Amino acid sequence: CVLKDAHGGGWKEVYICHTKEDVWNAYNQAGLLTMILQEFIVWDGYVRCMCLGQKEVLPMKYDPRERRYHVEHDHLDSEMGARIVADALTLVQALGYDMNSVEFATRDGVPYAIDFMNPAPDMDINSLTPFYFDWMVKHMADMVIDLAQNPRPQITELKWSAMFNK
């Protein structure tokens, strides 16, 4: 399994645990951090989605071992791509995030959301690649202009029950 900081990033405070004792020891090392325990997915594909405005999703091929993006537009078939986009939108809408990255590990044709609480993702050109950086700049600008021209009320309550009826 994996024990990790619920609000972390950059692969900090991430522990791969093989026994109950590993989990206990890692948890004790975490101090006061809020931790998430999840299944370790031995993946055959990995996708990081940049999500903006709870409407736009860019699924990018990512290799966490290399910590780099690969500009390959055919890394997902249409069915898997649609599923990942739909799942990413459901997550950001449930969390109320207008900016987020959502990571999926895929195994045997099934996407598993393994990291989805990152409302301040790394958008540096050197991380994203120039191609994906250009997408981010354009869509971020479009989102900000739209919000300025069409203000919306502050969200006071997230109603997660609405997500279950989709």
Residue-averaged pLDDT of the chain: 92
Pull the structure tokens for residue 160. Answer: 């997660």
Q: What is the CATH number of domain 45-152?
A: 3.30.470.20
pLDDT at residue 89, as a whole number: 97
User: Distance between alpha carbon 91 and the CA centroid of its chain, in Å?
Assistant: 9
pLDDT at residue 90, as a whole number: 95
Task: List the chain domain ranges.
Answer: 2-38, 45-152
What count of other Cβ atoms lies within 10 Å of the Cβ of residue 147? 12
pLDDT at residue 155, as a whole number: 79
DSSP character at residue 164? G
- Residue 44 dihedral angles phi and psi, to the nearest 5°: -110, -5
The answer to whether 87 and 115 have CB atoms below 8 angstroms apart is no
Residue pLDDT, tens place only, 83-132: 999 999 999 999 999 999 999 999 999 999 999 988 889 999 999 999 99
How far apart (Å, rounded) are the C-alpha atoms in residues 62 and 105? Answer: 10
> How do 110-115 and 56-63 pair as beta strands?
unpaired
Q: pLDDT: is 116 or 11 the higher one? A: 116
Beta strand ranges found along the chain (DSSP E): 2-5, 14-16, 35-38, 45-52, 56-63, 68-70, 99-107, 110-115
Q: Which residues are 38's β-sheet partners?
A: 2
The answer to whether 60 and 135 have CB atoms below 8 angstroms apart is no
Q: Over the range 58-71, which residues count as b (16 or more CB within 10 Å of their CB) and which as e?
A: bbbbbeeeeeebee
How far apart (Å, rounded) are the C-alpha atoms in residues 68 and 72? Answer: 12
What count of other Cβ atoms lies within 10 Å of the Cβ of residue 82? 12
Pull the structure tokens for residue 70. Answer: 């690969």
Question: Which helix (H) or strand (E) covers residue 5, if one does?
Answer: strand 2-5
- Average pLDDT over every residue of 18-44: 94
